[in-house]
Amino acid sequence: MTEVYYKYLSNLIPYKVDNVRIRYYADNIAHGYSTGLDLKVMGEFVDGVDSWITLSLLKTAEDIEGDYYTDKQGNRVEAGYIPRPTDQRVNVSIFFQDYLPKNPTWKMQLNLLFGTGLPFGPTKSERNQDTLRMSPYRRVDIGFSKQIKSASTQLKPRFFNGFEEIWLTAEVFNLLQISNTISYLWVSDVTGRQWAVPNYLTPRQLNIKLIMSF
């Protein structure tokens, strides 16, 4: 499945990401565009279990009315189009499932994620200075599932027999303990120079879930 798109965006309200806060402008003073490509390939490495690969390419930018900067010669220069806060150029996801050939009630899921960095800039700067890029987002998840009940099995107590299927799953998110950046805290030194200190997302995490379907 493939989708190619281009969309012109009018009457935009510009906003700036400040750590974990979003600061909106007061008026609809920008226009812009979004263009890209979404690609998804699905298949079955083993019968009855879907796996897929997705690839997304994106470029989105906006032009804010009256936005400018001053160059080294003191000239006023219109900023023109600048990346929007959601301008993530590449996003790749791979999801793979498998089960034991002689015991299909045991399944394994593997999920790999990669995304290029989002734009950001100093806290007290204008939007046209948000041209730096965060570090790429990378994550590996793994999960194991056991089918406790199928439509053809009976369990005790009988309460569970009212369900068609019951699955118990254990998942490990961020298996490789990769430090992914969510935002930056800007710190100034004695000379007034600013330094970006990253704030990280949750490290490795264990998740247990029980799925009971009618």
d(C-alpha 158, C-alpha 150), whole Å: 14
Whether residue 152 lies inside any domain: the answer is yes
Whether residue 89 lies inside any domain: the answer is yes
d(C-alpha 130, C-alpha 109), whole Å: 38
Task: Please give the pLDDT value at position 159.
Answer: 66
Instruction: Give the model confidence (pLDDT) of 73-132 as tens digits.
Output: 888 888 889 999 999 999 999 999 988 878 888 999 999 999 999 999 888 788 888 889
Whether residue 71 lies inside any domain: the answer is no
Whether residue 161 lies inside any domain: the answer is yes
Task: Please give the pLDDT value at position 115.
Answer: 97
Average pLDDT over residues 15-29: 86
Whether residue 209 lies inside any domain: the answer is yes
Instruction: Give the model confidence (pLDDT) of 28-51 as tens digits.
Output: 999 999 999 999 998 887 777 889
Higher pLDDT, 53 or 20: 53
Whether residue 26 lies inside any domain: the answer is no
Residue range(s) defining the domain that contains residue 166: 40-58+84-213
Q: Structure tokens of 26?
A: 């007061």
Contact 103, 175 (CB under 8 A): no
Whether residue 78 lies inside any domain: the answer is no
Whether residue 176 lies inside any domain: the answer is yes
Instruction: Give the model confidence (pLDDT) of 137-186 as tens digits.
Output: 999 999 999 988 776 666 666 666 767 788 899 999 999 999 999 988 88
Task: Please give the pLDDT value at position 164.
Answer: 75
The tally of domains found in the chain comes to: 1
Predicted confidence (pLDDT) at residue 206 exceeds the cutoff of 90: yes
Pairs from 66-74 (Cβ < 8 Å, separation ≥ 24): 66/29, 67/126, 67/127, 67/128, 68/128, 69/126, 69/128, 69/129
Instruction: Compute how many other C-beta atoms are within 10 angstroms of the C-beta atom of residue 73.
Output: 6
Q: Structure tokens of 20?
A: 């974990």
SS3 for 29? coil
